[in-house]
């Protein structure tokens, strides 16, 4: 039983390692650090932080976009075009 | 006459059982007796069968005495069985106590080894689990990983529904990619919007794609001052997203693609005329795709 489990475990372990490295390649820090194999714990923590920072960024950018749209010159023909473009 | 004797013996057995209940202090044993007697009435034991055989030949009194004689012997047998069962139980108790002791030892070990420097992480070794320091460290590591996974699951929407580490990781990867895409898209829209506004303000028939492309490049060429003005978000990420804009433009129509290049690519791309044309084309495509 233990051998069967270990063999099945190794397959999923491989899959998980693959996914982990994929995840690592998505993180911005992985480029800076190079190819050093970080621990899974650290990687998951970084992923957490990265997702949070992405959330903040998306919020911030959408705020700025709405600000830009609000401060747009209403009489400008270009503004009209851009507004219609962005609305669609 | 012989037909009644089993009935009588049952009655007597029942009273004997009552006596047993009255005399024994242990509730387990009394219930055990009751159970056995009811069983005996349904399916007579060999001893009872022997008593019945005696009853058929002898009078009621002798049958009664026989039953009275046999039932204590049965009780004794039961008691013996009970005792053995008890001893087995005590054996089990001893084992489980020993197991508990072992796990306690493990816990103590883990507290002495891991917890003082790293805070409280509960490590429990069940019976049969290894207790050497390597296994303990591995267990601590796995605990941490699963804790992080739970945190990530809380962050990623729809991730708490899937089970299995691989699927969860897949979901997390997809989510990170979609967030990156979103950031990219938003920053690109902002970057393409502000200079185009100025451009339209100066030149009303500036819909010429060369013009837009040029302005777009302007926006790209100075990403930091433009984009970081009101952004507390890390500039690293913004640099990344702006640098991958040319890629994202190519994938505007659905496909998700990501560049792992850093910002230097952008400068190269802007510097080359061929790339410039490509960019212009892409910007135009992008504008069309908005509609």
Q: Which of B162, B170, B148 is nearest to A20 (CA)?
A: B170
Crossing angle (nearest 10°) for helices B4-23 and B60-113: 40
Alpha carbon of B36: minimum distance to chain A alpha carbons (Å): 41
Q: Which residue from A minimizes the CA distance to B177?
A: A26
Give the pLDDT of residue B163: 81
Mean pLDDT of B240-260: 38
The answer to whether position B170 is within a domain reads: yes
pLDDT tens-digit readout, B261-280: 333 333 333 434 444 444 44
The answer to whether position B203 is within a domain reads: no
Which uninterrupted H or E stretch holds B166? helix B165-202
- For residue A12, the chain B residues in CB contact (below 8 A) are 165-166
CA distance A57 to B182: 9
- For residue A23, the chain B residues in CB contact (below 8 A) are 169, 172-173, 176
Q: Which residue from A minimizes the CA distance to B239?
A: A28
Of A16, A25, A54, the CB nearest to B165: A16
**Is A2-87 a domain of CATH 4.10.280?**
yes
- What pTM value is reported for the model? 0.40
Alpha carbon of B110: minimum distance to chain A alpha carbons (Å): 19
Lowest mean pLDDT among A58-67, B11-20, B174-183: B11-20
Of A48, A78, A82, the CB nearest to B148: A48
Say yes or no: ipTM exceeds 0.90: no
Number of domains in chain B: 1
Task: Supply the CATH number for residue B167's domain.
Answer: 4.10.280
pLDDT tens-digit readout, B83-100: 444 444 444 444 444 444
CA distance B114 to A59: 40
The answer to whether position B220 is within a domain reads: no
**Is residue A24 a contact partner of residue A43, using CB atoms and an 8 Å limit?**
yes
Chain B contact for A42, CB < 8 A? no
Q: Has residue B148 got a pLDDT over 50?
A: yes
Of A47, A60, A64, the CB nearest to B152: A47
From the CB of residue B244, how many other CB atoms can be counted at a distance below 10 Å? 24
Q: Supply the DSSP symbol for B227.
A: H
Q: Which of B264, B289, B269 is nearest to B279 (CA)?
A: B269
Question: Across the interface, do B189 and A86 touch by the CB < 8 Å criterion?
Answer: yes
Pair of tokens at residue B190: 């902002």
The domain locations on chain A are: 2-87
Q: Has residue B12 got a pLDDT over 80?
A: no
Give the pLDDT of residue A77: 60
Give the pLDDT of residue B166: 85
- For residue A48, the chain B residues in CB contact (below 8 A) are 148, 151-152, 155
Q: Which of B5, B15, B12 is nearest to B49 (CA)?
A: B5
The answer to whether position B121 is within a domain reads: no
Give the pLDDT of residue A16: 83
State the residue range of the domain holding B173. 131-198
């Amino acid at each position: 039983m233990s051998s069967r489990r270990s063999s099945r475990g190794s397959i999923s372990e491989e899959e998980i390692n693959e996914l982990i490295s994929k995840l690592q390649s998505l993180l911005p820090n992985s480029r800076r650090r190079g190819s050093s194999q970080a621990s899974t714990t650290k990687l998951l923590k970084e992923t957490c932080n990265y997702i949070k920072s992405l959330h903040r960024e998306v919020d911030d950018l959408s705020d700025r976009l709405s600000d830009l749209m609000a401060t747009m010159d209403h009489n400008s023909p270009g503004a009209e075009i851009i507004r219609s473009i962005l609305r669609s | 006459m012989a037909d009644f004797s089993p009935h009588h013996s049952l009655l007597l057995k029942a009273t004997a059982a009552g006596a047993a209940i009255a005399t024994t202090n242990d509730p387990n044993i009394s219930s055990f007796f009751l159970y056995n007697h009811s069983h005996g009435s349904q399916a007579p034991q060999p001893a009872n069968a022997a008593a019945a055989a005696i009853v058929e030949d002898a009078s009621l009194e002798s049958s009664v005495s026989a039953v009275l004689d046999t039932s204590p012997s049965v009780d004794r047998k039961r008691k013996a069985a009970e005792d053995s069962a008890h001893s087995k139980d005590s054996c089990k108790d001893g084992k489980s106590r020993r197991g508990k002791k072992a796990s306690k030892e493990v816990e103590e070990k883990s507290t002495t080894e891991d917890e003082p420097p790293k805070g409280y992480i509960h490590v429990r070794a069940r019976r049969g689990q290894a207790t050497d320091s390597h296994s303990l460290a591995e267990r601590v590591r796995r605990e941490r990983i699963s804790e992080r996974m739970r945190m990530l699951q809380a962050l990623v929407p729809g991730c708490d529904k899937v089970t299995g580490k691989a699927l969860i990781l897949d979901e997390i990867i997809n989510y990170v990619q979609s967030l990156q895409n979103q950031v990219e898209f938003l920053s690109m829209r902002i970057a393409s919007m502000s200079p185009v506004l100025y451009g339209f303000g100066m030149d009303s028939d500036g819909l010429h794609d060369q013009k837009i492309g040029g302005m777009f490049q302007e926006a790209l060429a100075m990403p930091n001052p433009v984009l970081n003005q009101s952004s507390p978000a890390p500039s690293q990420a913004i640099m990344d997203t702006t640098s991958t804009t040319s890629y994202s433009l190519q994938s505007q129509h659905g496909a998700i693609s990501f560049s792992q290049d850093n910002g230097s690519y952008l400068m190269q791309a802007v510097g080359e005329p061929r790339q410039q044309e490509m960019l212009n084309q892409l910007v135009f495509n992008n504008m069309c795709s908005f509609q």
